[in-house]
Amino acid sequence: MSRKKEKLPKTEAQIVAQESAIPSIAAKAFRDAYNVALSKGEAVLVVREGNLVKVSSAGTVVLRSVETYGTIKAGTRLKVKKHRQGEFVPKLQA
């Protein structure tokens, strides 16, 4: 016999309540990661007022302007194609 207590299935209301918390949890995670990176002396790339900006403890530097990509409707599925082995993939030189 197992000592584990059987879990009751979640109700639709419980699932909706948990899912509604996801945006705030994600926002906090990104904010925390941003602050940790800056506190460790790293730089972070962000978009502010249509510009790609490099933020560091030394200050901010505008790298370039960014254009809007367009609008994507909710529920749209995007496919990412991976390069097959043997295909030419240009590499950046350091």
pLDDT of residue 5: 82
Give the single-character DSSP code of 25.
Answer: H
pLDDT of residue 84: 66
Name the one residue in this structure whose structure tokens are 């082995």: 85
pLDDT of residue 72: 79
Name the one residue in this structure whose structure tokens are 């925390």: 32
pLDDT of residue 83: 66
pLDDT of residue 94: 42
Q: Write out residues in the chain with pLDDT < 50, as ranges.
A: 92-94
Residue spans per domain, the chain: 13-65
pTM for the whole structure: 0.57
Cβ density class 53-70: b for 16+ within 10 Å, e for less: bebeeeeeeeeeeeeeee
pLDDT of residue 93: 46
